[in-house]
Structure 1
């Protein structure tokens, strides 16, 4: 049996990441993959990337990670949300100014998708969807939309992030998994979220919620000049 963790959407929340990594270790799991968006929204972008890099955790580049690289003419419109709020735009520009060269270099080295094989099962790892880095695979989709997406991949398990909302769906032999967000949940539950996966002949997925020192992040939001509403949203688990 193989056991591993999938994390996503850490978004510069170092205390949440530290707590999740500690919980993964308590589960006796030492293999982790991330689905991108290491930076954005929260006040520890460089520290978060440095911790992921130091642990050698493989994973992807998310749409926010891509945006701060400055490789497109209109990163806000192309890689963030066209309906981005004024607060979101302010946080984006703050992040753009704060990420250092080492962080940018690491983000630029990450792929947008990858496939991982475990015990005869293949896992397609994406940030938004296999179609585009900023696609939202929403829990509210009708089954027909999930089936149409899964028909486009050959892997047994499709893992996506980006929505910040946990999701597990099975359709015959194929599964769709979203581990939720480590650093900025948007499902009304502020606890950090990740997925614990066990696989042999069968597949077992557990969404785990982890308490962390949210007030440490809240204090840093104020101290580092991010909008106060970002702290309120973090406490409430909402966008």
Structure 2
């Protein structure tokens, strides 16, 4: 993408239909005067406010990518969807789905920044983390992280998907950054085996990049907000796991 990048960029990811967290983040972005918003995907999936979130995002502008859950919303038949995707699908309009279908899976910006949802070649792989056979989650080796970059040579590489804010600096100085999740601070998954990802706090998260003479300075933003309406929506849909995650940043203990 041929972009004249501004000196301040906001990066966000993994909203998952949490309209109230998104509003809080956009208000914080506005107070910091970012010239561009880069959204790394997974906009709607979940038992929350997908339609409301779509209305906000479609009027926000900036660079918006398609995540794995976004892809499933437009590729799968409704009866084949998981519960969170189906809950979002049932709220979205045909126009919302067309907007989602048109989003790119990744974006290169001005030769300086490459952005994707998970990794350049796959929207389902954690870039900085690996899941062991017993379900524990830990950091990947530097060699693994480097290999997943593929042919992308931009000095700044942006990803989401894991919902965990973090950074890895590769041996050649390239930086991989994850802003954390706007709307879902904890979740569980059964691919490749059952595991949980937990931010450990319920706040909305995003990242600000500032251009300096030495490269891009990074500020991770942690934004408290009132999650009570979203928690009530999750409870009304019988999704007590989501309600617990939204309230605490952790998944509930398994029985």
TM > 0.5: yes
Query: TM-score, normalized by length of structure 1?
Result: 0.86
1:77-111 deviations in Å (ceiling 9; x for gaps): xxxxxxxxxxxx32232223222212101101100
Q: Which moved more, 1:146-155 or 1:29-38?
A: 146-155
Structure 1 position 100 matched with structure 2 position 113: no
1:188 pairs with 2:197: no
Which residue number corresponds to residue 213 of structure 1?
226
CA contact 1:91–1:226 (8 Å) conserved in 2:
no
Structure 2 residue 39 is the aligned partner of structure 1 residue 39: no
1:81 is matched with which residue? none
C-alpha displacement of 1:23: 0.7
**Post-superposition shift, 1:75?**
6.5
What's 1:203 paired with?
Answer: 216
Q: Does 1:177 align with 2:157?
A: no
Aligned residues: 223
CA distance in 2, matches of 1:226, 1:32: 33
Higher relative contact order (CA 8 A, sep 6+): 1
Q: Please list every run of at least 4 consecutive aligned residues from structure 1 whose deviation after the TM superposition is greater than 3 angstroms.
A: 70-76
Q: Out of 190-199 and 25-34, give the one that drifted further.
A: 25-34
Q: Deviations over 1:195-228 (max 9, x none)?
A: 10012332211111100111121122234x2422
User: Deviations for 1:57-90, whole angstroms, at most 9, x for unmatched residues?
Assistant: 32101110111113579965xxxxxxxxxxxx32
- Structure 2: state its 5+ residue gaps: 1-5, 130-138, 186-197
How does the TM-score come out when normalised to structure 2? 0.81
1:154 equivalent in alignment to 2:153: yes
Query: Which sections of structure 1, spanning at least 5 residues, go unmatched?
Result: 77-88
CA RMSD of aligned residues (A): 2.1
